[in-house]
Amino acid sequence: MEDCCCTSGKHKHREDEELRRLNNRLSRIEGQIRGLKEMLNNDIYCTDILIQVSAVNAALNSFSKELLANHIKTCVADNIRQGNDEVIDELVTLLQKLMR
């Protein structure tokens, strides 16, 4: 259960490849946010900025989907295998928050 995020203190060890992919996604999103600030400061037309905001939202959603899939495949599955069905309620609560 060492790879599970649902251990005491709720930490998760991520494999190097997963960590690299997630960090790369966040770095790209960070660059997009900096680009938005630059567009705003350069008086770029509102609709052009809003289109870029939409791209940032899509990138964040993509990041969330990958992280959620990894969570279900590791933490949730491991806990269910070990008889900890409370993780199902935690997942349902998470999904409800994500779907607002």
What integer pLDDT is reported at residue 28 of this predicted model? 98
What is the spatial distance between Cα 94 and Cα 78, in angstroms, rounded to a whole number? Answer: 17
With H, G, I as helix, E, B as strand and everything else as coil, classify residue 15: coil
pLDDT value at residue 10: 80
> Using an 8 Å Cβ cutoff, are 64 and 19 in contact?
no
Domains of the chain and CATH, by start: 16-98 (1.20.58.1000)
User: Which residue's entry shows tokens 């960590």?
Assistant: 19
pLDDT values of the chain reduced to their tens digit, one per residue, 100 residues: 444 555 546 888 999 999 999 999 999 999 999 999 999 999 999 999 999 999 999 999 999 999 999 999 999 999 999 999 999 999 999 999 999 9
